[in-house]
Structure 1
Amino acid sequence: MKQRKQFKWIMSLVLICFFVTTNAQDTEKKSIGEAVYSEYQKNGIDKALKMYKTAKMKNSDKYVWTEWELNRIGYVIMNEDQDLDAAEKVFKLNMEEYPTAANPYDSYADYLLEKGQTDEAKEYFKKSIAIAEKSDKEDEQTRIMSASKGKLAKLEKKDKQLAFLQGDWKVESTGYTDGKEAMTMKSHDKISYNEDVNALLIRHFNAQNESDGIRMIAYDAMDDTFDIAYISPDGMQGIETSTMKMETKSPTEFTFMDKYVSRTGKDVVLKHDLQKISDNELKWVIYEKNDAGEWQKMYAMHMTK
């Protein structure tokens, strides 16, 4: 069902781009996509594609020719007509016709997902991304690349890399000043993964079980980072944001580079070392750089379920 909704969303975008493109053309020209689809409905996909090639050779000036023409009817045939064999031929022809365009590869990957061929779909999303990254077209650099990277990340479960943090945690924290222990405190966190927004939700509570803020952590496929938003119940400072880059050192050891801009406009970088002792125990240490440029312990947490 989610895949179907995704296709409907894609189709909406495709149709918008299609109409924008065709409106800019000579109004007397016909849509080659509509002509192909009409022929498909009457005589099947093979004759429809033969008509496409004949029209291109003999009557090219009568039709609108863009990658969106075949792309649009490919989705219609796949989603509305439920004819996967015909859709495959349309998407493949579009890749042949526009080998240097990113979107035909993204669309063929969607077709492969519909067929349940996940590994093959990943490869075509990667091809789409590789083309978009080198493209000088804004649409490919932004919308197409974002769509391909997002779907690839979803397949590789990158948005759920931190899913092991889910649960109710008791937290014993130690704060440090100039590298020396300055304070200790107890609190607890309730961490869950929200499927609706593909984000980790962390609810912080103090020792008195009062809300101590909420964090939302969402994976950003475009930059291969996690975007973090924090809302404090007391500070009334709006939403504080940061960006975190994750490095997996081992199945149980992770390092995060946390970047944000302070209220005074200073760029701040923190290093987080996270160690998974077991499914029910974590050690989390946060470092900041001192004046000598050395990482100095700032905060340490021992978390247990």
Structure 2
Amino acid sequence: MKSVIQRALASATLFLFLSVTYAQQTTQVSTTVNPSEELYQHYKQNGIDAAIKMYDSSPSKGDEYTLLSEPLNVLGYRLMDEGDLDAAEKAFKAQIDEYPNEANPYDSYADLLMEKGDEAGAKKNYQKAIELSATMDDAEAKQQMLEASKSKLAMLEGAGSDLQFLKGKWNTKMFRIQDGEKNMTQQGSVEFSANGKNNVLTGIMKDKNGDYVGTRIIAYDAIDEQYDMVFAGNSPNGIETSVLKIEESSPQKVVFTEAYEENGKKMMVRHILNKASGDIAWEIHELKGDQENPVAEMTFTKQ
């Protein structure tokens, strides 16, 4: 995992050499040394193998583990940024050898493997980082480590892509089901777009006249393995939030539950999306205890 704020690694050390020559005394003081910068300069002059050998014999070797600001971690990402992936790999492997029971060295090495196109190796090391993050004592660092590794692994494994088929512009119809009767309550359109990582969908909804109705955002949460959804529109209800959990996902059908609060009461509905025809037949069932009752239907027709 790459640090946004690097630790101040400089330490002032005073070396006092006393010598008596012709009755004169001399004192020499060293300058401040940054272990990461020293490693990098040694790499530039002598190569990565010599830099790692120098590190192995330096006072920094075996110091208390400092997570993101470890000298080898900083060096590895710097070499990655410069495009020397083979040298960066050696730095990250050396960090794993030094701290085999820490999570971040595996996460960093996985980042390198992703850069080299080794997705299988990256998955293995992200998973190792996730497992080791559970052993971390610092609660904040533990959460950051888990979020970093698990979100990257989720994207590699395609998690969060269950609803990507919604991308595009659709004509929509909404029907309410009450006492066995189905009546259309709304007609219009929605256009969904995705972010670059395909883990966030944004839908702009309009009525049949083309006037704005609202915005729906669906974002995948890799930590809790669920989707967080928000809706904001013309109504005075503010922002409405809910949580979606996938129960079934295939090219023909997606089923998920939605949990939310309404007037202080916890509510749960099940959505059943049949998409075999290219269009979407969308059923909504209210869940109350052991009962499941259809309350609404929607049709999505691709424009």
What TM-score do you get using the length of structure 1 for normalisation? 0.82
The one-letter amino acid paired with 2:246 is M
SS in structure 1 at match of 2:124: helix
Change over 3 Å in CA distance of 1:261–1:110 after alignment to 2 = same
The one-letter amino acid paired with 1:252 is Q
Does structure 2 conserve the Cα–Cα contact (< 8 Å) formed by 1:31 and 1:69? no
The one-letter amino acid paired with 2:294 is K
Identity score, percent: 36
Partner of 2:25: none
Q: Unaligned 5+ residue runs, structure 1? A: 1-9
What CA distance in whole angstroms lies between the structure 1 residues aligned with 2:75 and 2:195?
A: 34
SS in structure 1 at match of 2:275: strand
Does structure 1 conserve the Cα–Cα contact (< 8 Å) formed by 2:258 and 2:269? yes
What CA distance in whole angstroms lies between the structure 1 residues aligned with 2:248 and 2:151?
A: 20
Partner of 1:109: 110
Question: How big is the shift at 1:255?
Answer: 1.2
**What is the 5 A alignment of 1:2-151?**
11-13=2-4, 16-19=5-8, 22=9, 27-28=12-13, 31-55=34-58, 66-67=66-67, 68-80=70-82, 82-151=83-152
Question: How big is the shift at 1:161?
Answer: 2.6
Question: Deviation digits for residues 239-271 of structure 1, max 9, x if unmatched?
Answer: 211111112343312111111222x32222111
Partner of 2:29: none
Larger fraction in helix: 1
Q: What is the total number of aligned residue pairs between the two structures?
A: 281
**What is the 5 A alignment of 1:288-299?**
288-290=286-288, 293-299=290-296
SS in structure 1 at match of 2:276: strand
Question: Alpha carbon RMSD of aligned pairs, Å?
Answer: 2.6
What TM-score do you get using the length of structure 2 for normalisation? 0.83
Partner of 2:245: 245
What CA distance in whole angstroms lies between the structure 2 residues aligned with 1:97 and 1:139?
A: 23
Change over 3 Å in CA distance of 1:98–1:157 after alignment to 2 = same
Question: How big is the shift at 1:115?
Answer: 1.0
Partner of 1:7: none
Change over 3 Å in CA distance of 1:249–1:192 after alignment to 2 = closer
Question: How big is the shift at 1:237?
Answer: 2.5
Question: How big is the shift at 1:231?
Answer: 0.7
SS in structure 2 at match of 1:203: strand
Bigger Rg, which one: 2
Q: Between 183-192 and 41-50, report the one with greater CA deviation.
A: 183-192
Question: How big is the shift at 1:188?
Answer: 2.4
